[in-house]
Amino acid sequence: MLRSFFIALSTNKAFRAFSERSTMGRRVSRRFVAGMSVEEAIAAAEQLNAEGIEATLDSLGESVMQVSQAEESAAIYHQLLDEIAARKLRANVSVKLTQVGMDIGGHGAGPELAERIVGEMVEHAAMTANFVRIDMEGSDYTEATIAMTERLNARWPGAVGTVLQAYLFRTADDVERLIAQGIRMRLCKGAYKEPAEIAFPLKADVDANYVKLMKRVASSGVFCGIATHDEAIIEMMRQFVAETGLDKRAFEFQMLYGVRRDLQRKLAAEGFGVRVYVPFGTEWYPYFMRRLAERPANVLFLAKNFFRK
């Protein structure tokens, strides 16, 4: 029920407008969003790097319906890639397809536009020894996202990857599909409302599938991201490394900006790779609500983290 509630709120325009303008909303965004500008995001990445932690920068925004908006989003990402290269940051970028025109109708728009724009980003990343993560959205986009990643990786091997969501039944097959091509993936649990016909409805089943897939991708020989704040799952990963002798740098833990900074630093100090997802921009509200929907217990969790370092 809570999951459905937060997903519904994530698309509520009136509540979004109120939240993004309210004092509390701005306070929340300061804690969990690294500012409104590229400069603030770069500063956050520099601070993380100084602590031995890598970063993924994400300019927040999605579901654009005008080509000009898609091109504006792309320009921000090219600026990010240039800044990362100039400052020699240990950082890459993450982008959603709906942010670069995937849903725009008309000739030359939609998937064609999105693939052109992301392709230009991936080419830019390849030229600067960097990497673009094509973020995953709802299940309506899963196959298109994976297929586009495959095509772009064939052109610029190693410069592009994507995200797989453990709550989908299909993900075990998708893991093998990407491993076979050497495509880097981030494994997360999933943050969208999906029907029981295609996704595990129970948290316990999602967690069990996540752990199974986590071990598979981490030991596959293809570098991957284990995206979780679940301490029980993190401990299982620690034990798996200890039992198998897996190189700690065969994978990295990935976490969200502003959440469990103490755990991020602890894992980095233990020699694990840690990467923090650094969102920035004015459109923070849908992102924040999906984090609550992903795990409703995060309501209390994030409230506690609001006051802790």
Point out the residues that are catalytic.
135, 186
C-alpha closest to that of 284 among 263, 255, 258 = 258
**CA–CA distance, 223 with 60 (Å, rounded to integer):** 25
State the sign of the Cα–Cα–Cα–Cα dihedral 52, 53, 55, 60. Answer: negative
Q: Please provide the distance, in angstroms rounded to a whole number, between the alpha carbons at the two ends of the chain.
A: 31
